Amino acid sequence: MWKPPQNVMFPWLASISRNLQGVHLPQFSSKEIWIFTDYVFENRQFDYDVLSILLFDPDTSRGWSDSIQHLRTTSDFSNRRMSYKTLKDGVRQKAFHSFMSAANELDGLIFSLAVHKSLKHPIITPDMVGKYQSLLSLKANWTFKVLERMLIISKVTAFLISGLSHFGQNVMWISDQDDIFANSDFSNDTCTFFTKFLHIFSSHSYGTISIGTTQLTEPDLIEEDLAAISDICAGGTGELLTLIRKEYGCIPGIAFELKSKLPPKPTNFFNWYTSPSEKLRKHVCVLDRQGKELRTIYWRGK
């Protein structure tokens, strides 16, 4: 299922590629792949920065939207938006199990990359921002932090797509309207980098490559619900890893048991992550430090 991308420049990406070769992954055989991304960067409550990427086949995932619509029309959840930070709300807590159970009906992959904040290996340096602006004729007024964030997100997303897609496939990437999609200039620049990374990593060509935000979609909340899955995975992964590291001093590489009771939000997330799914594959890659060495740990959901 996994075709190792070419021109992989970072050892940790090569490590991820080797790991994905040995696991069962979805087969994206339709004309399109849809992508929804979210992330938690620089959150003071978490020890990790987390990027979560949802990739799925829209043609073979139609049962998901039926389940979500049923939830919205038969419960108090109604027109509420789901996110990890709003799970303290009683109505959302009550709807969480049904909402995420519906996510298991997506024919695809949810991949989360968690990087411990002690690892500082910048993709670019501040003096390179102007060079990028000039060389690639970027339209938006990028700051160093936002440009670096965009490069990480677009690179890892393109890396996953290149290993799972096939010749002539259309790619649609949708995100919340965050910093890297703040307006049309930022979105166009992000699309430029994403497309370049796709061509660097891929040995095949694509059909159409499109980028949009949930702000531009229809008001039925379908796209926002899909984006919420990535949001919940990013927040849940970040909080759960932080709690585990607090208790053990590291992320154990073998099976372990938490002695302290988890708060409700990470408990609900962990219960969903470990729930069986015949269609949605769940993977977490943790980049952490062990002494002076980089340590890579993988979690696989059922």
List residues bridging with 172 in a β-sheet.
34, 210
Count CB atoms within 10 A of the CB of residue 187: 21
Rounded CA-CA distance 269/274 in Å is 9
> What does the block give as tokens for 259?
């002695």
Q: How far out from the chain centre does Cα 126 lie?
A: 26
Could you tell me if residue 3 is inside a domain? Answer: no
**Residue 258: pLDDT over 80:** no
117: in domain:
yes
Q: Given this model, what pLDDT does residue 250 score?
A: 78
Overall average pLDDT of the 118-124 stretch: 75
Left if phi > 0, otherwise alpha if psi is -120 to 50, otherwise beta: which for 179? alpha
Domain housing 81? 11-300
Task: Give a yes or no: residue 166 inside a domain.
Answer: yes
Whether 277 is covered by a domain: the verdict is yes
The count of domains in the chain is 1
Residues contacting residue 118 through CB under 8 Å, at least 6 positions apart: 289
Give the CATH number for residue 27.
3.30.420.10
Closest by CA to 83, choosing from 229, 221, 220, 214, is 229
Q: What average pLDDT does the structure give for the chain?
A: 88
Contact 132, 105 (CB under 8 A): no
Ordered DSSP codes for 251-282: --SS----SSPPPHHHHHHHHHHTS--SSEEE
pLDDT over 90 for what percent of the chain? 53
CB-count exposure of residue 63 (10 Å: 0-12, 13-18, 19+): middle
Asked whether residue 2 is domain-assigned, the answer is no
214 inside domain: yes
For 192, the token pair is: 């430029």
151 Cβ contact list (under 8 Å, min separation 6): 123, 124, 193
- E runs forming strands in the chain: 32-40, 48-56, 108-116, 170-175, 209-213, 280-290, 293-300
Look at residue 5 and tell me if it is in a domain: no
Span 7-64, pLDDT tens digits: 998 888 998 999 898 888 888 989 999 999 999 998 999 999 999 999 999 999 988 9
Q: What are the CA-CA distances from residue 197 to residues 68, 154, 191 (Å)?
A: 34, 7, 10
Q: What is the pLDDT of residue 12?
A: 86
Is 6 a domain residue?
no
Q: Determine the Cα–Cα distance for residues 71 and 130; give it in Å rounded to an integer.
A: 48
Alpha-carbon distance of 40 to 297, in angstroms, equals 19
Q: State yes or no: pLDDT of 252 exceeds 80.
A: no
